[in-house]
Amino acid sequence: MDRRCLPLNALRAFEAAGKHLSVTAAANSLFVSQSAVSRHILTLEALLGVKLFDRKHQHLELTEAGRALLPVVNKSFDRIEHVLKDILKDGAESRRVLHIQMPSTFAHNLAVPILREFRNIFPDVMLDLVIPNKVGMPDINSDIAVVYSKPEVNDLIADLLWHVRLTPLCHPCLLQAANAASLADFVAGNEIVHVILEGQPRHRLWDRFVRQAELSKVSVDRGLVFETANLAAQYAMSGTGIALLDPLLFQDELRSGALVQPFDAWVDDGYGYYLLTHSDDLLDETIASFRSWMIQRFANSSLELQHLVRRTGLPAAAAQA
């Protein structure tokens, strides 16, 4: 489409409706009538030849075409807004705001050192951290996002920060009380703690663990369920349960001895932490700089795990990929 024919008002109406999933809310945000928003959306749909929304009784739902278009429109308007603010800064020093998304456990354990180190290198960049409600779903308003996910094919650039491998971690008192028990007896004789992923069975990770460890007689359909690994770790540190956790996220707890790895046993279910970026956003120097810096920072994650193994006394074989 020739940019001279771009329907900018219709795109603004579409962006607002896509954000609120409501014609009424979109109209209120734009200070126009509901009929004006509806008219603009219909004009855009007619121009594109596809539906952008499915109209429900009291709300809108984005179609596949709408979901593809919304983040592009949102990013484009954001970029225009950033440039206009720079032009209108009236002599004051403008500071770029980078909107970053991180999942809860990642943010809780790593956000502070990551953001502090980045700010030391790029002091003029302001950082806005968002923690989403859903795993693996980057917010349309974020410039760059860390997600816990499996590899996917889509229009986003996905850089693997590290491949997650989980191992049972517990308080040292459980290990001392086990008195050299086998892995099977240790798991069977203690309460197990589950971390549930949205849409997955509650005992999926432990079930996969016992199958990979060939502990066929150990039941894992028991224990407590938490929505985040942080809560699972807190419960394990109380001395009353074993949790499957990623050591790279709980380095401080392992170094301090609050958590220990009782056995050299691991589970791999294909998940990892990925840095997601829209290809168009790499033209933004700030986003490109943060991406390059994050890739470099986590380039040696396997070496970090090896060092962690040596410092905390975890089994050396645990560092092998």
- Please list the alpha-helical segments (H only) found in the chain: 8-20, 23-30, 34-48, 64-87, 104-106, 112-121, 172-178, 183-188, 204-212, 229-237, 251-256, 285-297, 301-312
Higher pLDDT pick, 81 / 89: 81
Query: Is-contact 218 210, C-beta < 8 A?
Result: yes
Query: Is-contact 264 318, C-beta < 8 A?
Result: yes
Q: Which burial class, exposed, middle or buried, applies to 61 when counting CB atoms under 10 A from its CB (0-12, 13-18, 19+)?
A: exposed
Question: What pLDDT is attached to residue 89?
Answer: 59
Question: What pLDDT is attached to residue 40?
Answer: 92
Query: In the predicted model, what is the mean pLDDT of the chain?
Result: 85
Question: What pLDDT is attached to residue 321?
Answer: 36
Which domains, from first to last, does the chain contain?
A: 3-87 (1.10.10.10), 96-164+271-305 (3.40.190.10), 167-269 (3.40.190.10)
Cβ contacts of residue 177 below 8 Å, gap of 6+? none
- Please list the alpha-helical segments (H only) found in 88-203: 104-106, 112-121, 172-178, 183-188
Question: What pLDDT is attached to residue 320?
Answer: 38
Average the pLDDT over 206-221 and give the result. Answer: 91
**pLDDT over 60 (residue 315):** no
pLDDT band per the 50, 70, 90 thresholds, residue 318 = very low
Question: What pLDDT is attached to residue 136?
Answer: 61
Residue entry with tokens 């949102």: 74
Question: What pLDDT is attached to residue 54?
Answer: 92
CA dihedral 156, 42, 19, 145 (to 10 degrees): 0
Question: What pLDDT is attached to residue 314?
Answer: 52
Token pair listed for 293: 């810096």
Question: What pLDDT is attached to residue 282?
Answer: 84
In tens, the pLDDT along 221-250 reads 999 999 999 999 999 999 999 999 999 999
**pLDDT over 80 (residue 152):** no
